[in-house]
A and B are shown apart, each in its own frame.
Chain A
Amino acid sequence: MNWYILINIILPFVLAPFLFGVINRTKAFFAGRRGQPLLQLYYDLFKLFRKGSVYSVTTTWIFRIAPFAVFSSIVCVILIMPCGALVSPIGFRGDILLFIYFLAMARFFTVAAALDTGSSFEGMGASREVQFAALTEPAFILCMAALACETHSFSLSTIFSRLSFASWSGEGAVLLLVAVSLMIVLLAENSRVPVDDPNTHLELTMIHEVMVLDYSGPDLGFILYGAALKLWIIGSLVVGVALPVNTGNFFLDRFIFLGGMVLLAVIIGIIESVMARFRFLKIPQVLILASALSILALILQVRF
């Protein structure tokens, strides 16, 4: 193992909260405001970790352990996740599935904790979360299947190290479909507009934010940090597909990758500024669209 592989683990932990700052700045720019500092989430986390927690009397140990279970799942994912073309510390055939299922594990505990509070708001959020997740998961795995077909491998590290600009010129249609599909998955998994609005002020209209309504102090800190890491994780897949640079120069590659991540955050910010959240009834159609696009990406590659 080379020392620089550790950068795979360090980068997300250090830089993930920064993406939120970029998104918020972009939205502020569109709204004509100055906006929060770029490092706002770092300040928030620092503050939250020094506070105490308030718990509801209805809750049990499941509520208390959930933030840790969620965060542990995300740490496990980070261990197998490549940063663009840079291979991950632990890579093996089928790590794609462990990747997706650990994210599902995180979801299980978020939902279980939401239901543990006995609040109708949180029940509502949890109910929507599992609905959208059930439709997002096939899209996500199909994206990976399309990439597996394209690169003849089904280990994340190998897939992303085999993608290059040459594959864009060769199989551009496939990669475009996968990239769009992954982008929809990213927005859905991270509860962004148009699937969910993280900035809404009414509990009735939220999904992810309402599920964590009863958390406070360090627990909330872990949840916010986990959410930022999750955005980084799925975002790095999108960037890996859309900007598959592999020049051979270590620093140049990492630099372009980070540039891609910031660009992604800007794009998310733009989407949130120019679009409204869809009606909840419409969202399943968007998610099925993502599945359909990735199936199309698969079909385009079938050779009889």
Chain B
Amino acid sequence: MQMLLISLLVFFIGGVLSLLFSRSGRIASIVGAGSAFVASIIGLFPALHSLFSGVSQQLRYPWSMPCGSLSFELDPLSALFLTPLLILTALASVFGAEYLRSWSLKKSLGAPWFFFNMLAFSMIAILLARNAMLFIISWELMTILSFLLVTFEHEKKSVRTAGWIYLVAAHVGVLFIFVVFIMLGMKNGSMDFDKFALPPGSIAAASLIFVFSIIGFGSKAGFVPLHVWLPEAHPAAPSHVSAIMSGIMIKMGIYGILRVFIYLGPPHEWWGWLLIGVGALSAVTGVLFALAQHDLKRLLAYSTVENAGIIMIGMGTGVLGVALKSPLMAAAGFAGALLHVINHSLFKGLLFLCAGSVLHGTGTVEIDKLGGLHKRMPWTSFAFLTGSVSICGLPPFNGFISEFLIYFGAFYSISSMNGAHVFSSSAVIISLALAGGLALACFTKAFGMIFSGEPRSGDNSRFHESSPSMLLPMLALSSLCLIAAFTAPLTVSAFKYMLPQLTGMTFSTSAKALDIIIKPLWHVCFISAGFFLWLFALWLLRKLMPRSEVVEKTVTWDCGYCRPNGRMQYSSSSFAQPLTRFFNFFLRIRTLFKGPRGIFPKDSHYMTETPDIFEKGFFAPIFARIHDFLVLLHRFQNGRVQMYIMYIAAMLLILLIWKLS
């Protein structure tokens, strides 16, 4: 715990120092990134220790804030979220130092590094806070700082709009979080988490708090339909910040739901159904929208929505397991969800860094303008490939393990406990399978269109690979994706320390349930290791074949056409077209098409774009109404001094009459 406080202090001092050195971009970067790196490494030790040994430590100081106290605690659940936070912050800071350098002549880099360090600071504070005031202040700090980082390139109008949407969405969420904490703290009149309790028998209150926590924290976690800020904010932010936001910050929403869930007592069956429903909607919708995007960072943002949905499905399975009193289903669901929190932060962090590297090397993330980048950026391509395989949930990488656990819970309930929940478990299976298949389409598209084939925009000689200080964090995350897969049984067995808290089961029950789940995981690891062995064996076999040398190098089979060019390749929209057309009743893709006309056709073009139907069809009308209503108030605020004097006089008169009567 002391080490974590030191880590917090280093984040803070490093941030302030980089602000002080903001005159020189280089020094500010070195100080900011260096301190973030050091602070993360310092913090990683206590986090890992708590995660794997189950130790919790508390600290409490008085605070002059009303209802507030500086009470901190590091328990395994916090440590689970802290670990990916610190890993990703350390790697993203190394990446960012180089990434931001191209702006150093145009902009002061002191402030962004201050914000970056303080963002990590605030997120650690959220995870450690055990007092509602402290929690909400840290939460607000996180929102504001990430807003300031999103608007890094505030001279662009699109970035300002994105920041604005983000700020509004975040504050709608906070409103609900306030209500949740007030309702929980009412009984004992204290805002300390350990005094949180509900009056006995208050089932309706518990359900209400649960729903509010899903809305409040869900707006941060990016559940559909509260996800609208993600596809705006993630592309606008600098890539290493997007990695932090997508990899970690949205997980704070998940953490919030889990933390509140602990204080709600035994759950109802329909809570699980609700979580599964919202999760399934987010997972499938998220990946469908991702598939229809042409901008790599927007695609990744939507895929974050999908993964938040998968985590939610896992939590739903777990909650349902608790409600049905099935330790195995509860353990599998929660273990899958918690493991996916770690896994997603690794591979999504990696993919956003790759997107940053592509942007850095080529100046664009428009998928249809790229192509053939593999030859120019082999390492970025390799890292993106591992990230894609992981995010599609394919063995032998880590994404598969967490999805496997969620499936495990659903299959267990179908095979061993016949009843109405066969339907919910089928919903889990269908949505995971469909999301998995669509994710494969989405990421083969992203990888294939950007890195494979020939360049689509002619000359790519100015495209360059990123420098080692950007590549190393990416390759580190790639290997972590693989390492996380093979160490998953160990990580899952550490969940026995937090499961009793979440599920209300005894320690021995949850440990026993996890033991049953871990056994197949070892088999999965064993067979996955075999995959690499066969790969190597086949490669050797190929070398031993009679004519192992390349006979000839020639062009790709082009059906006899003599002058093919890069623009004739399949593009991102044409690759996704069969699927997007199939789901068009939902996606509502807009097409702008002007075909060639006449004997000598001049220009023709074809363009598709996929606006977010939830933004355009749901939020935009609501906010338009609110705007219309507020316009009515303009009459009172018309800017004439005389009117304002009249308001004051009228007010005074009313007060006078009120006092007299």
A: interface residue count bin? 35 or more
Q: Is B41 an interface residue when CB atoms closer than 8 A count as contact?
A: no
Mask: chain B, 519-550; 1 = CB below 8 Å from A; 0 = not: 11001101110111011001100100111111
Contact of B527 among A79, A117, A122, A131 (CB under 8 A): A79
Cα separation A247 to B267 with both chains bound (whole Å): 48
B: interface residue count bin? 35 or more
Interface of chain B, main secondary structure: helix
Known A-B contacts A68-B538, A127-B575, A303-B419; A214 and B545 likewise in contact (beta carbons under 8 Å): no
Output the least CB separation between B50 and chain A (Å): 29
Output the least CB separation between B430 and chain A (Å): 5
Contact of B577 among A127, A137, A301 (CB under 8 A): A127
Query: Between A and B, how many residue pairs show CB distances below 8 Å?
Result: 278
Contacts of A136 in B (CB 8 A): 437
Q: Is B553 an interface residue when CB atoms closer than 8 A count as contact?
A: yes
Chain A residue at minimal CB-CB distance from B443:
A108
B429 touches A130 (CB 8 A): no
Contacts of B268 in A (CB 8 A): none
Cα separation A284 to B545 with both chains bound (whole Å): 41
B549 touches A52 (CB 8 A): yes
Known A-B contacts A68-B542, A104-B392; A303 and B418 likewise in contact (beta carbons under 8 Å): yes
Contacts of B436 in A (CB 8 A): 101, 104, 137
Of the stretches B185-193, B310-318, B404-412, B475-483, the one at the interface is B404-412
Of the stretches A37-45, A91-99, A232-240, the one at the interface is A91-99
Mask: chain B, 147-182; 1 = CB below 8 Å from A; 0 = not: 000000000000000000000000000000000000
Q: Is B632 an interface residue when CB atoms closer than 8 A count as contact?
A: no
A115 touches B557 (CB 8 A): no
B437 touches A134 (CB 8 A): yes
A130 touches B534 (CB 8 A): no
A51 touches B547 (CB 8 A): yes
B434 touches A116 (CB 8 A): no
Of the stretches A28-36, A146-154, A173-181, A256-264, the one at the interface is A146-154
Known A-B contacts A62-B385, A68-B539, A123-B575; A101 and B555 likewise in contact (beta carbons under 8 Å): no
Contact of A134 among B374, B447, B559, B579 (CB under 8 A): B579
| 25 chain-A/chain-B pairs, Cβ below 8 angstroms | A52-B548, A52-B550, A54-B550, A54-B553, A55-B550, A55-B552, A62-B385, A65-B539, A76-B528, A76-B530, A76-B531, A80-B527, A90-B526, A93-B412, A98-B523, A108-B444, A114-B448, A123-B448, A126-B570, A127-B577, A127-B578, A142-B433, A145-B426, A214-B557, A304-B419
Q: Which of A107-122 contact B (CB under 8 A)?
A: 107-108, 111-112, 114-122
Q: Is B2 an interface residue when CB atoms closer than 8 A count as contact?
A: no
Q: Is A268 an interface residue when CB atoms closer than 8 A count as contact?
A: no
Output the least CB separation between B591 and chain A (Å): 18
Contacts of B385 in A (CB 8 A): 62, 112
Contacts of B547 in A (CB 8 A): 50-52, 217
Binding site for A on B (CB under 8 A): 371-372, 374-375, 378, 381, 385, 388-389, 392-395, 400, 403-404, 407-408, 410-412, 414-416, 418-420, 422-423, 425-426, 429-430, 433-434, 436-438, 440-441, 444-445, 447-449, 452-454, 519-520, 523-524, 526-528, 530-532, 534-535, 538-539, 542, 545-559, 566, 568-570, 574-579, 582
B546 touches A58 (CB 8 A): no
Query: Can you list the 6 inter-chain pairs with the closest CB atoms, starting with the nearest?
Result: A123-B570, A115-B448, A118-B453, A134-B437, A52-B551, A130-B441
Known A-B contacts A101-B394, A303-B419; A75 and B440 likewise in contact (beta carbons under 8 Å): no
Q: Is A4 an interface residue when CB atoms closer than 8 A count as contact?
A: no
Known A-B contacts A53-B550, A120-B568, A218-B545; A151 and B453 likewise in contact (beta carbons under 8 Å): no
Q: Which of A53-94 contact B (CB under 8 A)?
A: 53-60, 62, 65, 68-69, 71-73, 75-76, 79-80, 90, 92-94
Chain A residue at minimal CB-CB distance from B538:
A68
Known A-B contacts A101-B400, A151-B415, A298-B414; A131 and B578 likewise in contact (beta carbons under 8 Å): yes
Known A-B contacts A121-B559, A149-B418; A94 and B444 likewise in contact (beta carbons under 8 Å): no
A127 touches B557 (CB 8 A): no
Chain B residue at minimal CB-CB distance from A284:
B582
Contact of B538 among A71, A112, A114, A145 (CB under 8 A): A71
